[in-house]
């Protein structure tokens, strides 16, 4: 990429869907390419036709180092894609509550990897949106999907919401109030 950029390649060229090299590099976890593109003037807040940004892709794929680079270069942490999801929403979306119904509450720690923790912390500091409200909404939606999937609250699912609330408060360091 450095050779292409040195020979005049435009770092903001996009494909037919509006995807820029920076978005592709962020999605793929290519940190050095992200650095090169940013140095060459790539638009850190460029959007695809569906509103996706490099920050959204990096968060979705849990590339914490790239999230950090993008935020340091003024990526907007509150940008939303066409489905009204932010980078933070997509980080939370990887918390698979339905898996907890089979492995039980102890499985939550396995779902909360270190990369996700770093990303949430960075986005929490950079964002103007109420992080706790977004988390509460996501957890509420996922819990309802789980209940719907199993048809009723059973011994595995019963009380899971309170457990998740307590674990997420401990993990993230912030409280949220239910809707």
As a 3-state breakdown, the chain gives helix, strand, coil percent values, each rounded to 5, of 60, 0, 40
d(CA 172, CA 143): 19
Q: Cβ neighbours of residue 87 under 8 Å, at least 6 residues apart?
A: 53, 55, 56, 58, 59, 60, 67, 77, 79, 119, 123
User: Is residue 151's pLDDT more than 60?
Assistant: no
Q: Which DSSP string corresponds to 1-69?
A: -HHHHHTT--TT---TT---HHHHHHHHT-HHHHHHHHHTT--TT---TT---HHHHHHHTT-HHHHHH
pLDDT at 82: 92
Check if the beta carbon of residue 131 is closer than 8 Å to that of residue 156.
no
- Statement: residue 94 has pLDDT above 80: no
- Cα–Cα nearest to 126, from 85, 72, 81: 72
* Band of residue 91 on the pLDDT scale cut at 50, 70, 90: confident
pLDDT on residue 54: 97
3 state DSSP class of 177 = coil
Q: How far apart are CA 83 and CA 3, in angstroms?
A: 36
Query: Is residue 167 pLDDT above 60, yes or no?
Result: no
Task: Please give the average per-residue pLDDT across 20-45, as a whole number.
Answer: 97
Closest CA to 164 of 147, 140, 131: 140
């Amino acid at each position: 990429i450095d050779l292409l950029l040195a020979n005049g390649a435009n770092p903001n060229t996009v494909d037919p869907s509006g995807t820029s090299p920076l978005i592709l590099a962020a999605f793929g976890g290519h940190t050095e390419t992200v650095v090169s593109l940013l140095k060459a003037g790539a638009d850190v807040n460029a959007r695809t036709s569906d509103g996706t940004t490099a920050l959204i892709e990096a968060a979705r794929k849990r590339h914490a180092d790239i999230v950090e680079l993008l935020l340091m270069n003024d990526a907007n942490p509150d940008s939303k894609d066409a489905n009204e999801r932010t980078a933070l929403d997509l980080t939370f979306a990887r918390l698979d509550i339905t898996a907890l119904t089979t492995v039980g509450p102890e499985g939550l720690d396995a779902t909360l990897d270190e990369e996700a923790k770093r990303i949430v912390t960075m986005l929490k500091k950079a964002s103007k949106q109420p992080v706790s409200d977004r988390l509460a909404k996501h957890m509420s939606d996922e819990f309802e999907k789980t209940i719907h999937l199993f048809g009723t609250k059973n011994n595995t699912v019963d009380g899971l919401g309170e457990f998740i609330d307590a674990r997420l408060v401990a993990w993230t360091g912030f409280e949220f109030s239910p809707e």
